[in-house]
Amino acid sequence: MTTRTRDDFTWSKNTDTSAIHSMIQYTNKAGMSLIDVMGYTAHAFRIIIDREAVEVGSYSAFNWPLYHAQQLNNLGFMVQTLGRPSHIPPTPEELEEAIASIQTSLDRGVPALSWDLFIPEWGLIYGYDDENKVLRCRDVRKDGDLPYEKLGRGEVTEMYVLTITGSHPVDKRTMLKGALQMAATHAKYVEVEDESHRVGLDAYDAWIEAFTKRTVDPFGNAVNSGKVWDTRAFAAEFLLELSLNWEGETLQDDRLRMLAKEAAEQYGEIAERLVEMRDMFPFPQGGDPNSNEQAQRALTLLHEAKAAEIAGVALLERMLEALE
């Protein structure tokens, strides 16, 4: 039996999912817990690591419009996205289009998801004021006003806006199936086409490679240790809740509850390894990851975490079979 690495599941270091959870509270699906949002978007099962240095931006090295839309679709939302990771600031026309889409959403009472408002993380835009030409924004760094002209011209100069344009009911079985499919795909398939980032199970190898080469960036590693630990703690909790609360009387439902309990154990194992990583490499200084002592310990933890993840993914796939 693993021990929980946290008791409070009302916050997450994964700012897109955390912002998306907040966004949902303004819709007809309000009340959905952060645990459910992390689980049913499959964000709890994601991991992306850069094999050169475990660089800080690894968590955002994916096709945002594609995966965010997929995640929200799985919860029963239709979305519109503008912009993408590009390092190119918006033209005046693109900026106007984005502001118009934000305002349309706010007029309907739902905030917009955006990027790099006050820091290169995801945050929400929950107000606008045409008179002063400012957007009211919140991200993990700050709550405040952002001039219209500054949207997409923050630290990394790229614009991204996602708005919810519709919602339809989805039952838990469909959501779970979709989430498990996304998780299994993420674990095994190449989603990111670049030289240094690795996704899913390969991400553990990338992390191991950087520690083996002793080329770990202390800050990036601290950020990633914290973020990936956070996801796996949510994964364990999501699966545990599923094992306790999943409704259904068939043998397949019994099987699903049993498999979810076993999977919760595996993800709990991963969270235990990663919380030790998080504490050894505290944010923001990040400890001394390239020292022999810490690197050796990290390698042991990462190998163990990867073994548990392989077992965990296999269980998710069996859960998927039980749902077929």
Partner 1 sequence: MQTIHKGLYISATDLSSENRGPEPANEKDLVEKARTGDPDAFGELVRRHRSKALGIARSLTQDHHLAEDIVQDALIRAFLHLGSLVDAARFSPWLAKIIRNEAYMKVRRGGPHRREQPFTSLEGARQPAIGADDWQDIDRILFQLSRSALDSARQMQDPSAAFMRKELIDGIRSLLQCLSPREKRIFEAYFFEQLPPQEIAALLDTAVANVYNSISRARSKMQQERIRVHISMYVQQRRQMGKPGKVLLAPPLFVPVWED
Could you say which residues in the range 145-174 bind partner 1, by CB under 8 A?
Answer: 148-149
Report how far apart, in Å, the C-alpha atoms of 259 and of each of 46, 263, 316 are.
20, 6, 8
Binding flag, residue 109, partner 1 (CB under 8 A): yes
For position 82 contacting partner 1 by CB under 8 A, the verdict is no
* Binding of partner 1 by 143 (CB under 8 A): yes
Residue 232 Cβ vs partner 1, minimum distance, rounded to whole Å = 20
Q: Which range touches partner 1 (CB under 8 A), out of 1-9, 104-112, 247-255, 257-265?
A: 104-112
Q: Is the bond into 111 cis (omega within 30 degrees of 0)?
A: no
Query: Between 94 and 209, whose beta carbon lies closer to partner 1?
Result: 94
Whole-number Cα distances in Å, 281 to 197, 226, 277: 21, 9, 6
Minimal distance, residue 18 CB to partner 1, in Å: 5
Q: Judged by CB, which is closer to partner 1: 126, or 281?
A: 126
Span from 56-64, 137-145, 183-191, 198-206 in contact with partner 1 (CB under 8 A): 137-145
Please state the φ and ψ torsions of residue 294, each to the nearest 5 degrees.
Answer: -70, -35
CA 240 to chain centre: 19
Paired tokens of 51: 């094999």
Q: Which of 22, 167, 215, 290 binds partner 1 (CB under 8 A)?
A: 22
Q: Are 23 and 164 in contact (CB under 8 A)?
A: yes
- Contact flags string 42-81 toward partner 1, x per CB under 8 A: ----------------------------------------
Pick one of 111, 154, 268, 312: the residue that binds partner 1 (CB under 8 A): 111
| Residues 74/178, Cβ–Cβ less than 8 Å | yes
Task: Find the angle CA(57)-CA(58)-CA(62) to the nearest 5 degrees.
Answer: 105
3-state class (DSSP) for residue 111: coil
Give yes or no for residue 133 binding partner 1 (CB under 8 A).
yes
Decide if residue 21 touches partner 1 (CB under 8 A): yes
Residue found under tokens 């520690």: 211
Distance CA 140, CA 35 (A): 19
Residue 210: how many CA atoms within 13 Å on its side-chain side?
25
Contact positions vs partner 1 (CB under 8 A): 11, 18-19, 21-23, 25-26, 86, 88, 91-97, 99-100, 103, 106-107, 109-111, 119, 124, 126-131, 133, 136, 138-143, 148-149
